[in-house]
Structure 1
Amino acid sequence: MLVSAIGFVVGIVLLVKGADVFVGGAGGLAARLRISSTLAGITVAAFGTSFPELIVGIEAALVDNPGLALGNVIGSTVANIALVLAVCAIVNPDVISKEPGVQGISEVALMLGATLLFAILALRMIFDPIAAALMLTAFALIMWRLISLGVVPETHLETHGPRDYLLTGAGLAAVIIGADLLVTTATDIALVFGISPFVIGVSMVAVGTSLPELATSLVAVVRGEGGISVGNIIGSNIFNLLFVTGAVALIHPIPIGSYADILGMVLFTVAILPFFAGSSRVRRCWGVLMLAAYAGYIALLYRSF
């Protein structure tokens, strides 16, 4: 238990420091490639910080534990909105804003579309290769649409020259290693109490794999790169719902035990809309409400278990 606790702390340190380095590199790459910070978040940052979900999902499929993979996707999607975005809105509610050349609500609409497709395919109560093919196709189309929306020249992002690639790679490596270490140790601790794989996936593992998004987004908020924060969350959810689930379903069919879990995730996803409307005070209050709702959601999971 002591070793797990130490590993947990080390994982957090790697996540926070890695996110700091990664955001600097991602912003520099966005400047070099002349794309907006929102697009940088949707692509580079979101893909990088979602690799833990992909790795956990593949590992779970290979060891015949698809419940953990599904719980991780559902839990991470909820955590990205009700935890990550909520915290960002509380820290700096003005971070959620439109950027030149990018219509924020358009990216949100694409994320809602991905969630709707996920929910419709879940009506079959299993994600099999057929569902996987549809998900991966939709993912490719959404990514193409996001890229077509976001390519605009920017002047407020600074490049570090060739170091951008090194910073991005080193930061990403630290984030992934930190997340893997944290998830492993947190899962070991949870298993001591006999928690089911699905509940572990929705709660401990989901929060652990969402910590890169939280760390990266918070660092971006502090640096004033709100586009990376919001874009990272939107892109991460699309990546988790369509790419991660699709990739895992190709390896191992994923049975769905209860559709109520899907509906809960849909409700939390729709709840992202008030973050893009109203005053800063409204956004901050909504962030507080979402955090409270998330705490209640986790408590309900453990109570039902």
Structure 2
Amino acid sequence: MVYLLLIIGFGLLIKGADYFIDGSSNIAALFRVPPLIVGLTIVAFGTGAPEATVSIIAALEGNADVTIGNIIGSNLLNMSLVVGITAAIFPLAVERPTIKKEIPFAFLATIVLLVAMSDRALEFTNENFITRSDGIILLLFFAIFLYYVIEAARNSREEPVGDDATDQTGGWGKNILITVGGLAAIVLGGYLVVESSTDIALRFGMSETLVGLTIVAIGSSLPELITSITAAMKQQSEIALGNIVGSSIFNLLFVLGIASIISPLPVNDKLFFDIFVLLVLTIVLFIFSLTHYKVKKYEGMALTVFYVIYLIYIIIRN
């Protein structure tokens, strides 16, 4: 039965992502908002819903290893495998705001999390915790990011679309229904994949930290992967990369902020290596983005190979 649920989850993810991209890109046209902004907000927060669901539930159950491992693992996967596979299929065009503001903000969010985790080094305590106070700080940084996105949307609205554009994209009601329906399928599919894959992994004796960094991270990042690939194939690369960067920021600041407010999260020492890898990956993505404002196919393949090597290492480390 668990394997059947896994297959159903994958089906919902794939079909839901297709509808979600169509609906959200049409809403962007009706709102006269650039696709990049939609990728950073509606798509990023929508595809980040499985991570939020899994991490918050894990925090409520007092399972910090799954909570933090899921977020760091998901972001590592986003910056390497999701960008890599998407760029390998269709080179990702990168807009200037993404290079100048969004990717650096993702790097800043990772630094903020690293500082929040480092109680033993900075405060000379016996254990490392992400406390409720840390959670409030993370949410404040998320509020700053939201303010930036809202201002960017206000300042980049295009000329009003005519009746022909409305005819091509469809009406508000239809596109909202398509977007919400696609998102619901993504969230449900992500939940089924995470729950079933975690059940299968635990049966094989994997630790909770490893499950969080691998199975749960991969399962809950499938919406980003499927959505980004779908967006790239539809030549909506602004949505694809905006989705990846926005989802990473959403995970680090909002999801961990909420989770740590619900319950302070003890930090496994092994996770410091993983967060340093995440910092390096963010820098690498920034460098790749600077080359002709594209993440090229060979760069995408390099990122994919990097994730495979990292995955093998953490499995051995366990």
TM-score range, shorter chain: over 0.9
Alpha-carbon distance in 1 for matches of 2:274, 2:235: 35
Instruction: Report the AA paired with residue 116 of structure 2.
Output: L
What's 1:227 paired with?
238
Among all aligned residue pairs of Structure 1 and Structure 2, give the percentage whose two residues are the same amino acid: 33
Matched, 1:143 2:146: yes
Alpha-carbon distance in 2 for matches of 1:205, 1:193: 14
Could you list the runs of 5+ residues in structure 2 that have no partner in the other structure? 120-127
What's 2:109 paired with?
114
Q: Is the 8 A contact 2:94 2:293 kept in 1?
A: no
Q: Is the 8 A contact 1:38 1:150 kept in 2?
A: no
Instruction: Report the AA paired with residue 133 of structure 1.
Output: I
Alpha-carbon distance in 2 for matches of 1:188, 1:255: 23
1:245 alignment partner, one of 256, 280, 284:
256
**What TM-score results when the alignment is normalised by the length of structure 2?**
0.90
Matched, 1:218 2:229: yes
What's 1:265 paired with?
278
Q: Is the 8 A contact 2:10 2:193 kept in 1?
A: yes
Is the alpha carbon distance of 1:103 and 1:288 closer, same or farther for their aligned partners in structure 2, counting shifts above 3 Å? closer
2:60 alignment partner, one of 59, 62, 66:
62
Figure out how many residues of one structure are paired with residues of the other and give that number: 300
Alpha-carbon distance in 2 for matches of 1:281, 1:33: 26
2:170 alignment partner, one of 160, 173, 195:
160
Give, in angstroms, the shift of residue 261 of structure 1: 2.5
What's 2:125 paired with?
none
Is the alpha carbon distance of 1:167 and 1:121 closer, same or farther for their aligned partners in structure 2, counting shifts above 3 Å? same
Is the alpha carbon distance of 1:104 and 1:160 closer, same or farther for their aligned partners in structure 2, counting shifts above 3 Å? farther
Alpha-carbon distance in 2 for matches of 1:197, 1:231: 30
Instruction: Report the AA paired with residue 217 of structure 2.
Output: A
1:202-217 mapped onto 2 (5 Å cutoff): 202-217=213-228
Please say which structure displays the higher CA radius of gyration: 2
**What TM-score results when the alignment is normalised by the length of structure 1?**
0.93
1:25 alignment partner, one of 17, 23, 26:
23
Give, in angstroms, the shift of residue 280 of structure 1: 8.6
User: 1:286 aligns to what SS in structure 2?
Assistant: helix
Q: Is the 8 A contact 2:103 2:282 kept in 1?
A: no
Give, in angstroms, the shift of residue 104 of structure 1: 4.0
Alpha-carbon distance in 1 for matches of 2:98, 2:219: 30
Could you list the runs of 5+ residues in structure 1 that have no partner in the other structure? none
Alpha-carbon distance in 2 for matches of 1:296, 1:91: 20
> What is the CA RMSD across the aligned residues, in angstroms?
1.8
Alpha-carbon distance in 2 for matches of 1:208, 1:62: 20
Alpha-carbon distance in 1 for matches of 2:234, 2:241: 14
